[in-house]
Amino acid sequence: MTVRWKHLIVLVILLPLLGLGVGWSGLMSVRASTGHWAITDWFLHWVMRNSVATRVAFVDTPPLDDPALIPGAAGHFETGCATCHGSPAQAAPASVLAMLPPPPDLKKVVLEWTDAELFEIVKHGVRFTGMPAWPTQSRDDEVWSMVAFLRKLPDMDANAYMQASGLHGIGHAGEVSPLPITCESCHAESKLNDTSLIPRLAGQSEAYLLNALKAYADTKRPSGIMQVAAGTLPREGLPELAAYYANQPRATRPLVQQDAGLVEKGRVLAEEGRVADKIPACLSCHDKASANPAYPKLSGQNSAYLRQQLSLFHAEIRGGSFYGHLMEGVAKQLTPEDIDAASAYFSQR
């Protein structure tokens, strides 16, 4: 018995030492050029699949059929994903395909995953592979819109992809040289409508636009999409962008027929607030000439965008500029019906 114990103790001490010795010797290869052994490759993917499958057990998949989910995600795919995975408009560069493991062509592999599994991979990334996590962990709606986009990807040709992402290109479909994504790829007035989750910027307050861009760049307003778009720009360029959009005329567009009762409820909230619930009149801060110019205009904004921002404020995850806390206090008091009503009203105002 005593002899066995001794053996065990020697083994427990020796094994880690042996491991350290092998690591120290430099004999273990970390070369990506030689690839993994087939068994290592199989093992790593097996571990990854099990990990993803276990973590999605309690993930509820929201409805993903709203077409408004696609444009922001598609534009972000081009800047944040296509660099590694390629896209229907352009294959991944050879330098990236030399990664270990190489980023797969998503058109081919997304069918192997459920919506919840794609959500898990895109939100959290995959360790030891180079697959990054979503730039912010505090909101899930953008990640779900990326999942909605990935579902459409297998059926997209170069034209459909360029249309969805707002990518401009030189040449003909199939042999285009895409130009980089710009602000207009996503924010062009002509592409937006009342159901868009991408906000109209034309004619918005300049001070507010600048504060919003700084808030994204400083990660004080979480958005994976806008953190990438604004965070990669030189800071000195932000005032020019804010001025450019503030001076754009906001195109008039046909009014969407909203529920009249809802609009009326929104009007009352906007003009009078609701004293019993300590809700101030929205118009005491918004769309008022004498108010602080750093407060945003809401009139004519897409109702879907307004609804989403109010829901984010209500859940205390919207963040924003130095003034964001003012709005958080207001939004906490709003019911889901108030949010629908105010959004319907301001979109028509």
- The number of CA neighbours under 13 Å toward the Cβ of 165 is 33
Residues in 272-301 that interact with ligand HEC by CB under 6 A: 279-280, 282, 284-286, 295-296, 298
The SS3 assignment for 223 reads coil
Selected binder of ligand HEC within 8, 18, 109, 111 (CB under 6 A)? 109
* Window of 8-16, 30-38, 253-261, 317-325 that interacts with ligand HEC by CB under 6 A: 317-325
Of 241 and 262, nearer to ligand HEC (C-beta) is 241
Q: CA 319, 323, 325: angle at the middle one, nearest 5?
A: 55
Least distance in angstroms from the C-beta of 54 to ligand HEC: 16
* Window of 12-20, 32-40, 57-65, 318-326 that interacts with ligand HEC by CB under 6 A: 318-326
Any residues with CB less than 8 A from the CB of 50 and at least 6 apart, and which? none
Selected binder of ligand HEC within 62, 203, 231, 324 (CB under 6 A)? 324
Residues in 201-220 that interact with ligand HEC by CB under 6 A: 201, 204, 209, 211-213
Query: Which residues, in sequence order, are bridge partners of residue 126?
Result: 131
Tell me the residue type at 89.
A
d(CA 134, CA 146): 10
Q: If binding means CB under 6 A, how many residues of this protein chain bind ligand HEC?
A: 68
Of 56 and 118, nearer to ligand HEC (C-beta) is 118
* Window of 7-15, 60-68, 105-113, 171-179 that interacts with ligand HEC by CB under 6 A: 105-113
Is residue 52 at the binding interface for ligand HEC, with CB under 6 A as the rule? no
d(CA 290, CA 306): 22
d(CA 336, CA 85): 39
Alpha carbon separation from 134 to 53, 108, 182, 286, 339 (Å, rounded): 19, 21, 20, 32, 28
Closest CA to 187 of 153, 229, 148: 229
Q: Which residue's Cβ lies closest to ligand HEC? A: 320
Selected binder of ligand HEC within 330, 332, 348, 349 (CB under 6 A)? 330
d(CA 349, CA 339): 15
Q: How long, in residues, is the chain?
A: 349
Tell me the residue type at 15.
L
* Window of 17-25, 170-178, 254-262, 321-329 that interacts with ligand HEC by CB under 6 A: 321-329
Is residue 187 at the binding interface for ligand HEC, with CB under 6 A as the rule? yes
Any residues with CB less than 8 A from the CB of 39 and at least 6 apart, and which? none
Q: Which residues in this chain contact ligand HEC in the complex, by CB under 6 A?
A: 48, 72, 75-76, 80-81, 83-85, 99, 101, 103-104, 106, 109, 112, 118, 121-122, 126, 129-132, 146, 181, 183, 185-187, 197-199, 201, 204, 209, 211-213, 221, 223, 225-226, 229-230, 233, 241, 269, 279-280, 282, 284-286, 295-296, 298, 306, 309-310, 320-321, 323-324, 326-327, 330, 342
